[in-house]
Each structure stands twice: as structure tokens, then as C-alpha cells.
Structure 1
Amino acid sequence: MHIGELEVLRWAHILAMVYWLGGEWGVFQTSYHVTNSKLALDERRRHMETAYRIDILARTGIILLLPLGLHMGTIYGFVPLDGVALTAMWMIFIAWISLTWSAFLARESDMGLRLTKIDEAIRYVVIPGLFLVSIASMLGYGPLDIGPGTLWYGAKMALYAFALCIGLGLRFIMRAWTIRFRRLAEGPNPAEEAALTREISIGRLMAYVYWITIASVCFLGATKPF
């Protein structure tokens, strides 16, 4: 049996999606212990460390989905990238993933916070860019070569961009954990505890929308309905 480039990319795409969805569920469950003020601070910090270690796989998966999707789109003929542009695209995304992992490895330091903010700032460019490309292409203005029967690709890209928006909000909450736990280490702080409770309540509501969006992205990719 011949296994081609597209099949390998599809396998990697599914794997990245699994890590994305599974990782977000793991962080969601761990957050209950991170924000539980009845637990000792050291125990809460251990749960926070677990959450970060789970989340880095989700972060890696969500970033990898984009170059994998663009590469498959090139094979399908939807994305106008030649060999050189395709290589350049992968180099850019490898650099982005390296930045994400660097921020993770330095997460307890000020440098880690700065790297995390740079990681977040990249999304300020990627998200509107994806929305613009997907909507313009579905309306027939390019740059994607899609139309009736292949509009699912543009819709999937738009939903992915929306998921990035939600993920960015969740990243803000996790970044705040580092700062808040530094303050809690100085002694009891009702204001910080209240902020944690408020933020995680918002984050859990966002997570439900996140999972519905991820499921919708999966559905479009699997069924290609229009």
C-alpha cells in the first residue's frame, strides 16, 4: 500500500487536533484545583504546573494545525503556495512553535512572561489575516481558489480563526495565574483570590464555546459538506 504525502499530513492534522482538544480538557479540569482557595498554596501551584505541562501540548497542536492545513490546501489546489513559499511557511511556523516552547520553559520568569506576550501578539496578526483571507475567498475574491463544493475549506479557516480568538482569551487567564500566584505567595490576598475566581468562571464559559468550535472545525474537515 502506498502512503503519500497527503495521507501523512492528514494523520498529523488529526493528531494535532487530538492534542488540542484533549489538552484543553485537561487544563479545564486542573483549573478547579488551581483556583480552590481551600487548598494549600503549594498544592495549588503543583496543579498549576500540571496545567501548564498539559497546555503546552494543546498550544503546540493548535499552532501546527495551520501549516498542516495550508500544506494540505496546497496539495488540494486551494492555496497558492509553490515549493519555496511552502518551505518558508514551515520555517515561520517552526519559529513560532519554538517561541511558544521557550515561553513555556521560562514560564516562571519575567522573560517567560515577555515571550508569552510576543506569542500572543503574533495572534493579533494571524487572526484578522485568516478572517480576511477566508471571507474574501468564499466571496470569490481570492487568494484561495475555492468555490461551490470547496467552500468548506474557507469556512474551516474562519472557524479556526474564531477558535484562536477564544484561545487567546484563555491564554490571558493562564498568564495572569503566574502573576497572581506570585502575590499570593506573599500572604493571603482576598483581592487576588476574587480575581482568580472571576477569571476562571469566565474562562470555563469560553471553554464550552471553544469545544463546540473545535468540534465544528473537525466536522467541516471530515464531511466537506459544501
Structure 2
Amino acid sequence: MLGASLLVLLHVLIPVYWLGGDLGAFYGSTFMVDPRRSVPERMMALKILNNIDMAPRTALIMAFPTGFTLAWQRGWLQIADGWVFAAWIAGLVWLALAWTVHLKHGPAGATYKKVDLAIRYIVVFALWAAGMLALSGELALPLFIALKCLVLGTCVALGLLVRVQLVPLFGAIAQMRDHGPTPESDRVIAKVNGRARISVITIWVLVLIASVLGIATPV
């Protein structure tokens, strides 16, 4: 069926855009931390980084409704059809919220940001709970889906950790933008970027593991 094939294609494209977007943001960050670059160049690198980062953020959110639908379609998840519809509505609402957070800055986007963060915490605990319940036999899910739930939940958790790690970056960037770079601001930017990279690379590894699980579909 064409619809089923397109759904598989969409689900396969998720790790492609997730890892590809992350790689672009990762490379862009090298220009942001380079003290040899001018302030306008470094600020442009930051802008490009932020925009490219929406590709993996979008892919993360869309992984859930597409994966949920595939699991239902192939009989791995025994649920009523209405839950699939609800999953897509929830996913698209969350996606719209994430893009609103990206486009609205300052106080105008503060409430949206809080709601988005709350959703991410709920998703982390829901995925971890589903994975552990399935592994313990209390929830009827194939092993590979249980493991994917744990892996994707950890990806979201690491994304939240990255946000915490980036907090000191904002003040240093504001200092650089308004008053020019200083050795201290450059040190903070480089240190924060280096710490966040460890979390990002860990996410890459987990996305690859989730992809292998989805392709191999072990019992």
C-alpha cells in the first residue's frame, strides 16, 4: 500500500534529518566559538545554528506519531484506531508549540517555552515507564519497541540536559554582542560548547541504536 510505504519512508527520514541537522549545528558551533572570527560572523553562526537545530527538534517530535502508527499498523501495538488519530493530533500540536518557541523570543515566548518543557519531561517519564513495564512483562510490547522507548526517552532527557548546560552561554553571548568578546566570554563560550558536545554526541549514538533496533526488529 502506498500509504504504508510513505509512512515507513517518513519514519526512516527522521534519523536522517535528526543526525544531519545535528551535524550541521555541530559544525556551525565551531565558528561561534572561534575567537578569530568577527562578532557579526559569530552571531551569524549562532543564528544559523539555531535555525538548523529545528530539523532534529522536528524529527524528534515526529518520531512518536510515525512510530506509534507503524507499531499499530503492523500489529505490534494492540490499540483502538482512535488512539492513532490522537497521537497525530498530539504530535502536531507539540510540533506547532516547538516552532512557536523557536520563533517567539523573550517574554512573548516564555509561557510557550514552559509548556514545551513540561511536555518533554512528561514524554521522558512516559517513555521510560513504557519501556520498563514492557521489559518486566507488565505491558505487551515487543522487545525492540521497549528498548526504543528507553533509548528515545533518554534522547529527550539528554536534550533537556543540553538546555541546562547552555544556560551560561546566554550571558557570554550577550556580552560579546553588546561589548565585544573578552578572554572570559570566549572561555565561557568554549567551555559550555565543549560540555554540550558530549551530550550531543551521546544522542547521536542513541539515535543510531534506535535506528538499528527499528531495522532489525528483534523479538
2:216 paired residue number: 223
1:192 paired residue number: 185
Distance 1:70 1:202 in 2: 33
Change (3 A) 1:105 1:189: same
Change (3 A) 1:219 1:27: same
Among residues 102, 113, 124, which one is paired with 1:104 in the alignment? 102
Change (3 A) 1:86 1:215: same
Change (3 A) 1:100 1:178: farther
Instruction: Give the alignment of 1:75-154 within 5 angstroms.
Output: 75-107=73-105, 109-112=106-109, 114-142=111-139, 145-146=140-141, 150-154=142-146
Change (3 A) 1:176 1:16: farther
2:158 paired residue number: 166
Would the aligned equivalents of 1:31 and 1:51 in 2 still touch at CA under 8 Å?
A: yes
Among residues 202, 213, 216, which one is paired with 1:209 in the alignment? 202
Aligned residue type for 2:134: S
Aligned residue type for 1:75: Q
Would the aligned equivalents of 1:113 and 1:175 in 2 still touch at CA under 8 Å?
A: no
Distance 2:110 2:37 in 1: 26
Instruction: Give the alignment of 1:42-81 within 5 angstroms.
Output: 42-81=40-79
Would the aligned equivalents of 2:165 and 2:195 in 1 still touch at CA under 8 Å?
A: no
Among residues 8, 28, 31, which one is paired with 1:33 in the alignment? 31
Deviation at 1:66, TM superposition (A): 1.0
1:21 paired residue number: 19
Change (3 A) 1:207 1:163: same
| 2:149 equivalent to 1:157 | yes
Output the aligned Cα RMSD: 2.1
Change (3 A) 1:203 1:186: same
**Where does structure 1 lack aligned partners over 5 or more consecutive residues?**
none
Deviation at 1:67, TM superposition (A): 1.2
Distance 2:183 2:115 in 1: 30
Would the aligned equivalents of 1:31 and 1:200 in 2 still touch at CA under 8 Å?
A: yes
Deviation at 1:173, TM superposition (A): 4.7
Aligned residue type for 1:206: S
Change (3 A) 1:169 1:180: same
Alignment TM-score, normalising by the size of structure 1: 0.87
Would the aligned equivalents of 1:27 and 1:54 in 2 still touch at CA under 8 Å?
A: yes
Equivalenced residue count is 218
Alignment TM-score, normalising by the size of structure 2: 0.89
Deviating more after overlay: 184-193 vs 153-162: 184-193
User: What do residues 1-59 of structure 1 show as CA deviations (whole Å, max 9, x unaligned)?
Assistant: x42x4322111101122111100111111111112223211111100111111111111
Aligned residue type for 2:73: I
Deviation at 1:121, TM superposition (A): 2.6
Deviation at 1:168, TM superposition (A): 2.1
Deviation at 1:64, TM superposition (A): 0.3
Would the aligned equivalents of 1:152 and 1:225 in 2 still touch at CA under 8 Å?
A: yes
User: What do residues 132-188 of structure 1 show as CA deviations (whole Å, max 9, x unaligned)?
Assistant: 01110121101xx22xxx311111111111111222223445566455422322314
